[in-house]
Structure 1
Amino acid sequence: MFESERCTRRSVVLSTGTLALTALAGCSGGGGGGGSENDGGGGESQSDGGTATETESGDGGGGSGGGTPSFDGWMENVGNYDGVVDETGGDEVTVAVGAEGNGGAYAFGPPAVRVSSGTTVVWEWTGQGAQHNVAAESGGFESDLSAEEGFTFEHTFSESGTYTYVCTPHRTLGMKGVVVVE
């Protein structure tokens, strides 16, 4: 009887954990992670067969009104996603790590940016929401984990394409982002 009692406790704990993560992520359907895994690319560019190619649904996706790119569902459970922010023409763009979203400080701000080829994206930690990192789905770049306010990581995007990335510990909460390079 002890063994079956332990199995029941384990089942309850696992079920409770799963329900809590689902509630935190705000999932209402069977999407889970929102898109397929991209383990086979090896390179950074995902414009040809990568996880999230840009699928326009409306006005071209720029700004925060009208239609927004779906990125093949990649941004489905990203709570603060409101379209692609156009940052083309600049040499450097800053994205906050630990921005408000997804039920706490579990977001990138902005979560989707459009930049010109040769632009350096600098991710800067807010110090909120525990330890975060920035990791490309393609494996092209990855920062260290940090919770330190002001910690930065940068990557220069030299080739056109759509690059998807996550905070590995908070991926299931919807802490995901996209850089569209023109």
Structure 2
Amino acid sequence: MALSRRTYLTVVGSTAVIAGCSTGSADVPSYDVPTVTSPETVSSYLSDTSNFDGSMLDLTGRDEVEVAVGTEGNNGNNAYSPVAIQVETGTTVVWEWIRGSHNVVDTDDTFRSDIGTGLTFEHTFQETGTYTYYCSPHERYGMKGAVVVE
């Protein structure tokens, strides 16, 4: 029986937590897509986020996209990757924990995950708009992200 990527990461992440060790190199999603300039609201919100360069990935045309939680950035493993994305309505964003104890909290309380390690959290965006989010334990370090839904 073949394991899905999500199941595999859950099993491997849980094993690492039980064993008390790190999983080493992380499985960060990589997209070969164009970037677009972030709207001012996103640029302003992410201005103190070390892995934000003023652009966001254009991930329109996909049913599901992944964002890694706990990637390198903001003076530790305190970043989301990719940090800013553009999607269409109906797209599901799946946040996958790769390191550390984090969460995903929308600034307008539209969605909120648990705090933990080795988690997976998803939200399907049904309405257009700009959604900004953060990790409550690490927001002060700049662990923030954005989803722009067109």
Fold shared, TM-score > 0.5 on shorter chain = yes
Question: Residue by residue, what CA displacement relative to the aligned partner does 1:118-150 show, whole Å, maximum 9, x if unpaired?
Answer: 000000000x2x3100000001110001122xx
Provide the alpha-carbon RMSD of the alignment: 1.4
Within 5 Å, which residues of 2 pair with 1:16-35?
none
**Sequence identity (%):** 50
Residue 99 of structure 1 deviates from its aligned partner by 1.0
State the TM-score, normalizing by the size of structure 2. 0.73
1:181 paired residue number: 149
2:109 paired residue number: 139
1:108 paired to 2:80: yes
Cα distance in 1 for partners of 2:127, 2:115 equals 26
Larger Rg: 1
Alignment partner for residue 52 of structure 2, among 64, 72, 81? 81
1:155 paired to 2:123: yes
State the TM-score, normalizing by the size of structure 1. 0.60
Unaligned 5+ segments in structure 2 are 1-33
Unaligned 5+ segments in structure 1 are 1-61
Cα distance in 2 for partners of 1:153, 1:68 equals 24
Cα distance in 2 for partners of 1:73, 1:125 equals 26
2:93 paired residue number: 121
Secondary structure of 2:69's aligned partner: strand
Cα distance in 2 for partners of 1:180, 1:155 equals 13
Residue 70 of structure 1 deviates from its aligned partner by 3.3
Cα distance in 1 for partners of 2:40, 2:139 equals 18
More strand by share: 2
Question: Residue by residue, what CA displacement relative to the aligned partner does 1:81-118 show, whole Å, maximum 9, x if unpaired?
Answer: 12111100000000000011111110000110000110
Cα distance in 1 for partners of 2:77, 2:39 equals 24
Alignment coverage as a number of residue pairs: 115
Cα distance in 1 for partners of 2:114, 2:91 equals 21
